Amino acid sequence: MNSHRLLSMMLLLQTRHQMTALELAEELGVSVRTVLRDVVALADADVPVFAERGRYGGVVLLPGSQLDVSKLSPTEVDALKLLGLDTGQARQLGIDSLTRSAQLKLASRRPQGRQLELPLSELIVVDNTPWFSPMPSAAGVAELARNLQSGRRLRIHYRRSTERGASWHAVDPYGLLAKSGRWYLVADIDRVPKLYSLQRLEGWDVLPEVRRLRPNATLASVSRDLSTAVENRGDITIIATLSKDRLDLARRILGARLASSKPVDAEQVEITVIYDQVESVRQLLQFGDHLRVTSPPEARTVMRDVATAMAALYRG
């Protein structure tokens, strides 16, 4: 049995108390058979974990059981210190005191004597705050997390990015996703998975009905699929020339949308940018006169029209 997989399984069960073998298999990247084999091995080693059969069964860690950090190797303790939320996110969830307590317990496991290598946890800091902006407010994230533990459906008052006002929607929540310094509610609406930014979540009610999740769908798998869909670049190819000294900035701003770049001369590069719609070319206006779109013609038209309108605003 892989010791790192043992650590991951214990942490998952300690956090969620009960998971199906399929959920554990998806989280750990192994087969269901391997999970069940590991459960038997853990039980044989006197770890208080067992499998419950039946419709509402699963793999269960006995209540009150805790992961014994004294039995972890220095490498495993180091990895454990690097996992999880940063301090800002822990504060938003209202568990920063617990996080500090856990860090103190892990610190007590520092190996004594001469150490040839510095631990990674002393060389890496996790900070999910976006550049050039404070940690975005996610009012009520701790309360929402507690409500989600009830396993009930929610009625959320949510404002979509294209709407001026919020509207009510009944959803089946999987849980919360912390990504790029922002919190999202992951939920199904009419059996269709959606990401709801907590910055635009204006309120919610806990409904009496138990949440109805799609078969074999987990918070991890749904979050992964939704994140992939968001990052899907689209099929609109934009060609532009860019000042060479702005290429690093373009890489930082455009990310995966910057498909390629190649030198034109000593001063300029030709870049290829991918969008899902032509109107998205407006993003390139922030490069000012350092960038010139060369194709397609409809993208050049958008740039010209917007630039003309902006010039009119400042004329005189």
Structural domain includes residue 42: yes
Sequence-ordered list of residues with C-beta below 8 angstroms from that of 194, at least 6 positions apart, any chain: 171, 186, 187, 188, 226
Q: Are residues 100 and 27 in the same domain?
A: no
Q: What per-residue confidence (pLDDT) applies to 95?
A: 53
Query: What gap in Å lies between CA 257 and CA 237, rounded to an integer?
Result: 10
Q: What per-residue confidence (pLDDT) applies to 70?
A: 55
Q: Give 234's pLDDT tier (boundaries 50, 70, 90).
A: confident
Q: Are residues 79 and 42 in the same domain?
A: no
Q: Are residues 56 and 80 in the same domain?
A: no
Q: What per-residue confidence (pLDDT) applies to 110?
A: 56
Q: Give 262's pLDDT tier (boundaries 50, 70, 90).
A: very high
Backbone dihedral angles phi then psi of residue 201, each to the nearest 5 degrees: -90, 110
Q: Are residues 194 and 240 in the same domain?
A: no
Tokens found for residue 229: 């869909």
Q: Tens digits of per-residue pLDDT, 170-209?
A: 999 999 988 877 889 999 999 999 999 998 999 999 999 9
Structural domain includes residue 10: yes
Structural domain includes residue 268: yes
Give the pTM.
Answer: 0.59
The CATH number linked to 56 is 1.10.10.10
Q: Are residues 165 and 189 in the same domain?
A: yes
Q: Give 305's pLDDT tier (boundaries 50, 70, 90).
A: very high
Structural domain count, the chain? 4
Q: Tens digits of per-residue pLDDT, 111-169?
A: 555 556 676 666 777 676 666 666 555 557 888 988 998 999 999 999 987 788 999 99
Task: With CA atoms as reference, report the closest residue to 10 among 65, 82, 90, 75.
Answer: 65
Q: Which of 49-53, 55-59, 76-80, 156-160 has the lowest mean pLDDT?
A: 76-80
**What mean pLDDT value characterizes the chain?**
81
Question: Higher confidence at residue 51 or residue 228?
Answer: 228
Structural domain includes residue 278: yes
The CATH number linked to 273 is 3.30.70
Choosing from 184, 219, 254, the residue where a domain stops is 219
Structural domain includes residue 301: yes
Structural domain includes residue 85: yes
Query: What gap in Å lies between CA 286 and CA 249, rounded to an integer?
Result: 11
Query: What gap in Å lies between CA 167 and CA 77, rounded to an integer?
Result: 46
Q: What per-residue confidence (pLDDT) applies to 184?
A: 92
Query: What gap in Å lies between CA 165 and CA 169, rounded to an integer?
Result: 13
Backbone dihedral angles phi then psi of residue 17, each to the nearest 5 degrees: 70, -45
Q: Give 212's pLDDT tier (boundaries 50, 70, 90).
A: very high
Query: What gap in Å lies between CA 223 and CA 219, rounded to an integer?
Result: 6
Per the rule left: phi > 0, alpha: psi between -120 and 50, beta: everything else, 298 is: alpha
Given a contact cutoff of 8 angstroms between Cβ atoms, the answer to whether 191 and 153 are in contact is: no
The CATH number linked to 151 is 2.30.30
Task: With CA atoms as reference, report the closest residue to 254 among 235, 296, 282.
Answer: 282
Structural domain includes residue 172: yes
Range of the domain at 186: 138-219
Q: C-alpha dihedral over 205, 211, 212, 216, to 10 degrees?
A: 130
Please state the rounded mean pLDDT for residues 4-20: 73
∠ CA 39-41-45, nearest 5°, is 115
The yes-or-no verdict on residue 31 having pLDDT over 90 is no
Sequence-ordered list of residues with C-beta below 8 angstroms from that of 302, at least 6 positions apart, any chain: 278, 279, 281, 282
Structural domain includes residue 124: no
In whole angstroms, what separates CA 245 from the centre of its chain?
Answer: 32
Q: Which of 22-26, 96-100, 156-160, 214-218 has the lowest mean pLDDT?
A: 96-100
